[in-house]
Amino acid sequence: MKTFKLENEPKIETGFKTPEHYFENFSIKMMEQLPTDEPKVISIFQKRKTLILSVAAVLILALMIPILSPSSTNTQELDAVALENYITYQSNVNQYDLISVLETEDINNIKTGIVIEDEAIEDHLSTNSNLENLISE
C-alpha cells in the first residue's frame, strides 16, 4: 500500500467563501433587517371587560330559564270527599286532634240542624252489621 502524506497532497478548495468585512458589518445589517413595527399591546382592562360581559350574559340566561321554560305544575284542587277519605283512612288523626285545632267559630259552622227521623236511624242500625263498633264509639 502506498504511503499517504496529508501535507504533500494538493488540497481541495471549499465552495464557500465569506465576503470581505462580513463579520464587521453583520450587526449593522441585521439591525436594518429587523421590523420596526411595535408589538401589539393588549390591555388588561380589555380582558376584564370581556369577562364582565360574559358573566353578565350567563346571569341573564340563568334568570330567563324560569320564564322561558314551560311550567308543568298542574294544581288540582282537593275536593271535600277526597280530603275526608284521606283523614279517615290514611292518617293517624283522631277526632280529638281535630277538635283541639278547630276554633269555636269552626265548630259552630259544623253544627247543622239536620233532623234525622227515628225510622231512618232504626233502618240504618238494622242493616249495619257493625252495631257493636258503633256502640263502643
Please state the domain extents for the chain: 80-127
43-90: per-residue pLDDT in tens? 777 778 888 899 999 999 998 887 877 766 555 667 778 877 877 777
Please report the pLDDT score of residue 20 as a whole number.
83
**Nearest-angstrom CA–CA distance, 82 and 13:** 113
**Average pLDDT in the chain:** 78
Those residues with Cβ within 8 angstroms of residue 134's Cβ, 6 or more apart along the chain or in another chain: 125, 128
Q: What is the mean pLDDT of residues 26-35?
A: 85
**For residue 78, which amino acid is it?**
L
Enter the pTM of the model.
0.25
pLDDT at residue 13 greater than cutoff 80: no
Kind and range of the H or E run holding 30:
helix 22-33
83-120: per-residue pLDDT in tens? 778 777 776 777 787 778 788 887 777 776 677 788 88
